[in-house]
Structure 1
Amino acid sequence: MSLTYKSVSYTYPGAGAGVFDISLEIGRGELLAIIGASGSGKSTILKLLAGFVMPDAGQVLIDGRDVSRLSPEARHLGVVFQSYALFPHMRLWENVAYPLKIRGTAKRERRARANEMLERVGMGARAEDFPSALSGGQQQRVALARALVFEPSGLLLDEPLSALDAGLRVEMRDEILRVQRSAGIATLLVTHDQEEALSIADKVAVMRDGRLVQVGTPQALYETPVSAAVAAFVGQSNLWPSKVAGAGLVETAFGPLACDTGTRSAGEAVTVFVRPERIAPLPSGEADGPGRFAGTVAADRYLGPIRRIDLAVAGGLIRLETHQREPVTAVAIPPDAIRLLPAH
């Protein structure tokens, strides 16, 4: 089954907020993550697919069928909410079996299918327990089992891991991916966690002010953002207003950089974009030449496996990430680490 938005727009009554001219497709077995700042419209995208709101324009399609005006129940989609929304008075198997119960499945069959799904998410031994006996991660597994037990046309995940601590989020995102791949189901993930989106999604969509600004693979999004705004939102970035000095050279506030300038003309304003991990520390005294700069450490953040350093240089600030433990007094910015984006 595929999930498709065709030129979909929706504006909240009495407000100018909403989403505008959204076109997206999620293929069978594919996981699409939507990220964006608060208020960017990412949750509205999920609500439109789930049927919680109806579009003002455009179509929402499931496997080519227009479901734009159908109720949530008629869309046959599994949804996992941030709160998990388990029934506290029901045993785990009863929680998982509930979607089958409301569809009229016989008790023996729904119990068997619920137990099978609990086994798939590693909770088979807890089928007779109540939700209050579970940790947050275990409740998330049960909510995932419930969303998949009736073999839905698609799976919608609304910030499913935000209530978990950092270590458990890593474990559970891997579990979500394993179960999703096993089910071979089209999945939409809404998340504020960029690392979560980049690590498990086949495609990532970035929302801003109700519009899609870039859709692509995690690698394309991270390495070749279309704008400075996307580069600044996804991961850590160096973004420097600059001008093309000539073929293969740009001039920044702190000196020249060698890079591929393409067909850009001398004097053209650009934004230089470099990821911090692409900047290499240099031994003291080796900062001569284009792309090499000496400075003093303005901030040094120890993050365990890496250090995130702000190096103050004449005319600006260079952010780098390094495994090196020795003092950093100079850096090199390789030409192939530089991307030129439109001026902003």
Structure 2
Amino acid sequence: MHFDAVSFRYPSGGAGVSDIDLEIGDGELLAVIGPSGSGKTTLLRLLSGFVVPDRGRILIDGRDVARVPVKDRALGVVFQAYALFPHMTAAENVAYPLKLRGVDRATRMARASEALEKVGLGGFAHRQPASLSGGQQQRVALARALVFGPRALLLDEPLSALDAGLRAGMRDEILRVQRAAGIATLFVTHDQEEALSMADRVAVLKDGRLLQVDTPRGLYERPVDATVAGFVGHANLWSGRVAADGLVETAIGPIRTATGGFAPGDAVTVMIRPEEVSAEPAADAANRFAGRIAADRFLGNLRRLDLEVPGGLVKVETRRRDAIDTVAIAPEAVRLLPAGL
């Protein structure tokens, strides 16, 4: 699937998307994240056919489907609200897309049973939605989206209605089913943890524009700018200026790090992830900062601290349980980004 220079604006003037060029490979799960109003759901609606682009092409198997009706695109969709028919059994819900395609009852019910087996609900064929848990309903919706052998799978925040305790298990379930089907998948989510833990690649949108597409690790470790760095995960971000080769001046003090690619006098953004800040610095460690704890959050397996130092805050993630008043930042853990916060 390929968005080729796609732009769309809602007639009401609401945000859309601009010049989107994005490809989803066969068998790939691509997650799309971004703040509210960034264009995530618009992208899914364009691919599914609920809206038509103002410009550009939407290619599926090399064919431009930008103006092809929804029913003729052969895409499986799982919505945020599972939209199961309450008067139908689980098997009848799953079989419904086959009924619309004229498949005889015996064949469609057999295929529905197979699809329910694949999502771990083989014994639930005769249950109605009201008797199923949220996670079970989600799996019924997933089976329904896959039962007719779609060209691609579109997931619109499918886990947002589930309790936090169920989400991790359902992430694994969706990924297992998607991998077994070997189907290209577009997964829209507001949950970064879902995106980073499930996706082969992640696309970040803001104000309708594509900021970066990368693997989860690449996106986290090598954001293209401060906007992506601040949106994906937690980060220390400080405005700075290169003072000399290997030295950046910031509000919290000088930071020694490689400055290759930037010249003395260049404005930069300094990024360091909180888990890269050492809460047990050696006496001769570079980039030492002393201060007092301004916020201390106990998260079970770690603490997330804000250490107030002259000129600002240093965010720290550590497993230490005792008092902390000095931290250090290894030069190699720092990433310099273009200026702009």
TM range (shorter): over 0.9
Q: Contact 1:241–1:270 at 8 Å: present in 2 too?
A: yes
Q: Contact 2:200–2:215 at 8 Å: present in 1 too?
A: yes
Counterpart of 2:86 in 1: which secondary structure? Answer: coil
Distance in 1, Cα, partners of 2:83 & 2:311? 53
Which residue does 1:327 correspond to in 2? 323
| RMSD between superposed Cα atoms in Å | 1.1
List aligned pairs for 1:40-119, cutoff 5 A.
Answer: 40-119=38-117
What is the Cα deviation at residue 166 of structure 1?
1.2
- Letter matched to residue 295 of structure 2: A
List aligned pairs for 1:281-292, cutoff 5 A.
Answer: 281-282=279-280, 290-292=286-288
Counterpart of 1:83 in 2: which secondary structure? Answer: coil
What is the Cα deviation at residue 290 of structure 1?
3.7
What is the Cα deviation at residue 287 of structure 1?
5.9
Distance in 2, Cα, partners of 1:287 & 1:317? 21
Which residue does 1:20 correspond to in 2? 18
Counterpart of 1:138 in 2: which secondary structure? Answer: helix
What is the number of equivalent residue pairs in this alignment? 340
Distance in 1, Cα, partners of 2:198 & 2:79? 18
Counterpart of 2:279 in 1: which secondary structure? Answer: strand
Which residue does 1:230 correspond to in 2? 228
In the TM superposition, structure 1's runs of 4+ consecutive aligned residues that sit over 2 Å from their partners are 286-290
What is the Cα deviation at residue 288 of structure 1?
6.1
Q: Contact 2:5–2:57 at 8 Å: present in 1 too?
A: yes
Which residue does 2:275 correspond to in 1? 277
- Letter matched to residue 43 of structure 2: I
Task: Tell me whether 1:303 sits opposite 2:303 in the alignment.
Answer: no
Which residue does 2:203 correspond to in 1? 205
Which residue does 1:121 correspond to in 2? 119
Counterpart of 1:301 in 2: which secondary structure? Answer: strand
Distance in 2, Cα, partners of 1:177 & 1:289? 42
Match of 1:31 among 29, 32, 42: 29
Q: Contact 1:51–1:70 at 8 Å: present in 2 too?
A: yes
Q: Contact 2:286–2:331 at 8 Å: present in 1 too?
A: no
Counterpart of 1:52 in 2: which secondary structure? Answer: coil
Counterpart of 1:129 in 2: which secondary structure? Answer: coil
What is the Cα deviation at residue 289 of structure 1?
6.0
Percent identity, aligned pairs only, is 65
TM-score after normalising by structure 2? 0.98
TM-score after normalising by structure 1? 0.97
Distance in 2, Cα, partners of 1:189 & 1:255? 42
Q: Contact 2:4–2:56 at 8 Å: present in 1 too?
A: yes
- Letter matched to residue 232 of structure 1: G
List aligned pairs for 1:124-135, cutoff 5 A.
Answer: 124-135=122-133
Residues 177-223 of structure 1, C-alpha deviations (whole Å, 9 max, x = no match)? 00000000000000000000000101100000011011111111100
Q: Which runs of 5+ in 2 are unaligned?
A: none
Q: Contact 1:295–1:312 at 8 Å: present in 2 too?
A: yes
Q: Contact 1:287–1:330 at 8 Å: present in 2 too?
A: no
Residues 110-169 of structure 1, C-alpha deviations (whole Å, 9 max, x = no match)? 111000110110101010000000110000000000000000000000000001111211
Task: Tell me whether 1:341 sits opposite 2:337 in the alignment.
Answer: yes
Counterpart of 1:310 in 2: which secondary structure? Answer: strand
- Letter matched to residue 299 of structure 1: A
Q: Contact 1:276–1:321 at 8 Å: present in 2 too?
A: yes
